Structure 1
Amino acid sequence: MKIGLRILLGYFAIVGVAAWFLLYVFVEQVKPGVRATMEDTLVDTAYLLALLVADDVKAGKLGESTMLERIQSYKRRKIDVNISGHAKRALNYRVTITDAQGIVRFDSFGRAVGRDYSQWNDVKRTLRGEYGARSTRANPLDDNSTVMHVAAPIMDGPQIIGVLTVSKPNATVQPFVERSRKIILQRGALLLGLSLLIGCAFAFWLTHALRKLMRYIADVEAGKKAALPPLGNNEIGTLGRALESMRHQLEGKEYVEELMHTLAHELKSPIAAIQGSAELMQEDMPEAERKHFLGNILNQNARQKQLIDKLLALVRVEKQQRLGAPEPVSLDKLVALARTDLSLTLAARRLTLVVRAQELTVRGDELLLRQALGNLLDNAADFAPEGSSIALDVERVDGQAVIVVRDQGAGIPEYAQARLFERFYSLQRPHGAKSTGLGLPFVREVMALHGGTVEVGNHADGGACARLRLPVSA
C-alpha cells in the first residue's frame, strides 16, 4: 500500500472516530440538557404557586380558593402557539396539592384527590425539608410516557403544612430534542464531508510531491544525471535538499576532494624535510650533524604519523551519527585521567594544573570525552607561558555540566577566531612547534555526538578559554 493511501486512510479513520465521538456526545447531551431546562422552569413555577396558595391551604379553604379555581380552568384553555417550528395547541402543566400527611387535597386534572402520595419522592422528600422531584411513567410499558414532577413546600412560618407539585410530560419537549438532534447530525455530516474533502486534497498534494521525490531517487540509483525537482519550502522540500546534499557527499564531490587536497598539502612539508635530511646524510659529515639530521627525520616521521592518526580519528567521529551505547561517565574520573595524560607535558614546561571540580555525571563515551578534554588541555599547555598555571573548572550551570579550560597565554588573535574549527588550521606555538590543526574539529564532533557544545575564545582577564557544555545525567 502506497504511503499516500495509508495517510489518507489514517486521516479518514481519525476524522471518522473523532466525528462519531463528538456527535455521539452532543446528541446524547441534548435530551438531558432540555429536560434539565424544563426541570428548572418547573422549580420556579412550583415555588411561586406554593407561595400564592399558602394562605388558602392554611385556612383549609381549598374548595373556595379563587387561585385554585383558575388553575383548574387553565387546563381547558386552548392556545395556538408556534415555537421554533413546532405547533403547541394545549397547556400541559398539572398541579397537585397534598397536606402535611401526603394526602392529595387538590388536583388540577381532578384524578387523584384523596389518594396517598406520601411515598412518592416529590412529596416524601419535600415533607422532610429536602428538594423533591421524580420522573415516573404514566404507562409502565412506554418509555416515552414519563412525566416530570417537581414539588415545593407550602409553608406556615417555619412549618411545612403541605406540598404543591407541578408536573409536565417529558413528551412535550421531545420535538425540540429531535429537532436539535437532527440539526446536530446534519451539521456534523457536513463537517465530516468537508474534513474528508480536505483530507483528499492533502493526500493528493502529499502523494504528488512524494512521487516527484521518488522519481528523482530512482534516477540517482540508476546512475542517471538527475536534478532535484522543485519541491517548495516545506518539509518534503527540506528532505529533498538533504538527500541532494547527502548525494554530493557520498559521491565525494565535496568532502573527499577537500580532505585529500588538504592532507596532501599538509604532508608536503614533512616529506620534503625527510627527503632533504636523507640526501644530506648520504654525504660524509661529522657525527653530530648526522645525529641532527637523523633526529629531524624521526621528528618529521612522527609528525606525519600524528597527522594521519588524528585525521582518522576525526573522520571516524564525523561519520558516526550517534553514540552506540552511552554509559554514565564521572567527570571527576575524567579529569583525573586527563591530568595523568598531561603530566609529562606539565612537568617538562613547569606548568601547574589547578582543578576545581564538582561531582557530576554525564552519559556518553568515556574514551571520546577523554580525548576531547585532552585536546583542549594540550592546546592550553602549548600556549601557556612556562611556569604558569592552567585552570580546569567543572561545575553545574542550568542543568548542564560546564567544563572550562583556561590558560594564561597571549590569547587568540582576532583574525584567527573565526577559523579555529577549520581542519588543519592552527596557530604558531610560542615555542615554535605547530599542531595538526585537527584537535578542535575533533572536540566539536565529540560534543555534537553527546548533545553538547564547545566554545573557544578569549577570557576577559586574559588568556584563551575553552568551554564544554554537556547534559547532566539524572
Structure 2
Amino acid sequence: MRLGLRIFLVYFLFVGLTGWFVLRTVMDEIRPGVRQSSEETLVDTANLLAEVLQADVKNGSLDRSRLPDALRAYGSRSPQADIWGVNKTAVNHRIYVTDARGIVLLDSLGQAVGQDYSRWNDVYLTLRGQYGARSSRESADDPESSVMYVAAPIRDGEKIIGVVSVSKPNRTLQPYIDRSQRRLAWLGAGLIALGLLVGGLLSWWLSRSLGRLTRYAQAVSDGRRAELPRYRGGEMAQLADAVERMRVQLEGKAYVERYVHTLTHELKSPLAAIRGAAELLEGEMPAEQRARFVGNIAGESERLQQLIERLLNLAQVEQRQGLEERVPVALRELVAALADERLARVQGVKLENAIAPQAIVAGERFLLRQALGNLLDNALDFTPPGGMIRFDATQVGEHWRLDLYNQGEAIPDFALPRLTERFYSLPRPASGRKSTGLGLNFVAEVAALHGGELRVENVEGGVRASLTLPQA
C-alpha cells in the first residue's frame, strides 16, 4: 500500500471517528440542554406567579379573582410566532395552584380543582421547602408524552401557604431539538467531509512530493539523467538537498575513479609512441627519418591534447543534470558559422546548408555549438575529396530533427550500435588512424541533456546522423 494512501486511511479513521464521537456527544447533549433551558424558564415563571398569587391565596379569594378567566383566555391564545423556523400556534403552559395541604385551588385546564396533589413531587417537595420538580407521562406507554413540572412556594412571610406549579409538555420542545440536531448533523458532516478533503489533499501532496523525489533517486541509481525536484522550503526541500548532496558526493567519487582508469588506459598508447620515438631520436639517423619521428611525436602530442580536452568537455556534460540556460538557437545560422570555420581547413568538400530559417530549437547555445561541431568534424573525416555534406532539418511534432548527411563508405553493421560508446572509434579513411572516440559520445550526452537523441544510420550513398532537439 502506498504511503499517501496509508496516511489518508489513518487520517480518515482519526478524523472520522473523532468527528463522529464529537458529533454524537453534542447531539446527545442537545435534548437535555433544551430541556434544562426550558426548565430554567419555568422556574422564573413559577416564582413570578407565586408573587402575583400571594395576596389572593392568603385572603382565600383566589376563586373570586379574575385569574381563572385570565388563565382560560391564556389557554385559548394562538401566538402565530415563527421561532427559528418553527411555527408556534398555541400556548402550552399548564398552571395550577394548591394550598398548604396540596389541594388544587386553581387549574388552568379546569380539570384538577379540589384534587389532592400533595403526593406529586413538585408539590410535595415545595411544601417542605425544597426545589420541587417532576417529569410525568400523560400516557404510561408513550415515552414522548412526558410533561415537565416546576413549582414555586407561595409564602406569607416565612410560612408556605401554597404552591404554584407550571408545566410544559416535552413534545413541544421536540421541533427545536430536531431542528438543532438536523442542522448540527449537516454542519458536522460538512466539517468531517472538509477535514477528509484537506487530509486527502495533504496526503496527495505528500505522496506526490515523495514520489517525485523517489523517481529522481531511482533515475540516479539507474544511471539516468534526471532533474532534482524543487520544493518551496520545509522538510521536503531539505530532504531533496540532502539527496542531491549525497548523489554529488557518491557520483563524484565513482566518476573520478572511472575516469582515472579510462584516462590512464587511453594515455598508454600515445605515451608509448612518444617514448619510443624519443629513444630512437637519441641515436644517429638520417634527417628524413628523424623528421618522421619528430612528426610522430607532434601527432601523438596533439592526440593527447585532444583526448584531454574532450574528456574534460564530456565530464562536464555527464555530471550535469539539467541545462544552465534554455534560449532560442537558430540552427541555420549556427551551422553556417561552423561551416565557415571547418571548410577553411578542408579543401575539396562541398557543404550544403538546406536548413529552413524557421528551424529554431530551445537549448544551451554553447553545448549545441560543440555538439554540431563534433558531428561536422566526424563527417569531414569520413567524406572523400570531392564529396558532399548536407545539413537539413525537419519538424517532427514539438521537435526539430537535424539531419547531417555525408557521402562516403557505409559504416560496418558491427560498428553501428557502438558508435556512441566512449573511446570507440573507426579508422579514418585518409590516415587509417583512430580518433579519441569521444566525439559522438559527447553529442549523445548533449542530446540527452536537451531531451533529445542522436541516431546514426547508413543511407543510400553515405551516412546520416540525426539529432533531435526540442523546438523553441
TM-score by length of 2: 0.51
Matches within 5 A, 1:34-433: 34-250=34-250, 253=253
Matches within 5 A, 1:1-40: 1-40=1-40
How far does the alpha carbon of each residue in 1:273-292 deviate from its partner, in whole angstroms, 9 at most, with x for none?
Answer: xxxxxxxxxxxxxxxxxxxx
Deviation at 1:176, TM superposition (A): 1.0
Corresponding residue for 1:383?
Answer: none
Deviation at 1:235, TM superposition (A): 1.3
Deviation at 1:100, TM superposition (A): 1.1
Letter in 1 for 2:145: S
How far does the alpha carbon of each residue in 1:367-416 deviate from its partner, in whole angstroms, 9 at most, with x for none?
Answer: xxxxxxxxxxxxxxxxxxxxxxxxxxxxxxxxxxxxxxxxxxxxxxxxxx
Could you tell me how far apart the structure 2 residues matched to 1:124 and 1:234 are? 70
Could you tell me how far apart the structure 1 residues matched to 2:231 and 2:92 are? 68
Maintained 8 Å contact 2:103/2:118 = yes
How far does the alpha carbon of each residue in 1:67-110 deviate from its partner, in whole angstroms, 9 at most, with x for none?
Answer: 23312332123332222222222111111111112222221111
How far does the alpha carbon of each residue in 1:325-377 deviate from its partner, in whole angstroms, 9 at most, with x for none?
Answer: xxxxxxxxxxxxxxxxxxxxxxxxxxxxxxxxxxxxxxxxxxxxxxxxxxxxx
How far does the alpha carbon of each residue in 1:421-462 deviate from its partner, in whole angstroms, 9 at most, with x for none?
Answer: xxxxxxxxxxxxxxxxxxxxxxxxxxxxxxxxxxxxxxxxxx
Gaps of 5+ in 2: 258-472
How far does the alpha carbon of each residue in 1:99-131 deviate from its partner, in whole angstroms, 9 at most, with x for none?
Answer: 112222221111222222222221111111111
SS of the residue 1:36 aligns to: helix
Deviation at 1:240, TM superposition (A): 1.9
Could you tell me how far apart the structure 2 residues matched to 1:143 and 1:16 are? 32
SS of the residue 1:30 aligns to: helix
Letter in 2 for 1:184: L
Could you tell me how far apart the structure 2 residues matched to 1:134 and 1:252 are? 86
Could you tell me how far apart the structure 2 residues matched to 1:48 and 1:164 are? 10
Letter in 2 for 1:90: A
How far does the alpha carbon of each residue in 1:178-237 deviate from its partner, in whole angstroms, 9 at most, with x for none?
Answer: 111111111222222222222222222111111111112212333445553223322122
Considering only CA atoms, is the larger Rg found in Structure 1 or Structure 2? 2
Letter in 2 for 1:36: Q
Gaps of 5+ in 1: 258-474
Letter in 2 for 1:130: Q
Deviation at 1:134, TM superposition (A): 1.2
Deviation at 1:52, TM superposition (A): 0.8
Maintained 8 Å contact 2:100/2:161 = yes
Deviation at 1:154, TM superposition (A): 0.5
Could you tell me how far apart the structure 1 residues matched to 2:249 and 2:80 are? 85
SS of the residue 2:201 aligns to: helix
Corresponding residue for 2:446?
Answer: none
Deviation at 1:5, TM superposition (A): 0.7
Maintained 8 Å contact 2:78/2:90 = yes
Letter in 1 for 2:207: T
SS of the residue 2:17 aligns to: helix
How far does the alpha carbon of each residue in 1:138-196 deviate from its partner, in whole angstroms, 9 at most, with x for none?
Answer: 11111111111010000011100111000010111111111111111112222222222
Could you tell me how far apart the structure 1 residues matched to 2:91 and 2:233 are? 67
SS of the residue 2:89 aligns to: strand
Letter in 2 for 1:22: V
Maintained 8 Å contact 2:43/2:150 = yes
How far does the alpha carbon of each residue in 1:24-68 deviate from its partner, in whole angstroms, 9 at most, with x for none?
Answer: 122112212211111111111111111111111111222212223
Could you tell me how far apart the structure 2 residues matched to 1:99 and 1:78 are? 31
Could you tell me how far apart the structure 1 residues matched to 2:51 and 2:211 are? 78
Could you tell me how far apart the structure 1 residues matched to 2:130 and 2:248 are? 83
SS of the residue 2:202 aligns to: helix
Could you tell me how far apart the structure 1 residues matched to 2:104 and 2:7 are? 67
SS of the residue 1:112 aligns to: coil
SS of the residue 2:160 aligns to: strand
Maintained 8 Å contact 2:63/2:105 = no
Could you tell me how far apart the structure 2 residues matched to 1:18 and 1:70 are? 52
SS of the residue 2:152 aligns to: strand
Could you tell me how far apart the structure 2 residues matched to 1:201 and 1:241 are? 24
Letter in 1 for 2:222: A
Letter in 2 for 1:100: A
Deviation at 1:251, TM superposition (A): 5.6
Could you tell me how far apart the structure 2 residues matched to 1:214 and 1:40 are? 64
SS of the residue 1:151 aligns to: strand
Could you tell me how far apart the structure 1 residues matched to 2:52 and 2:134 are? 23
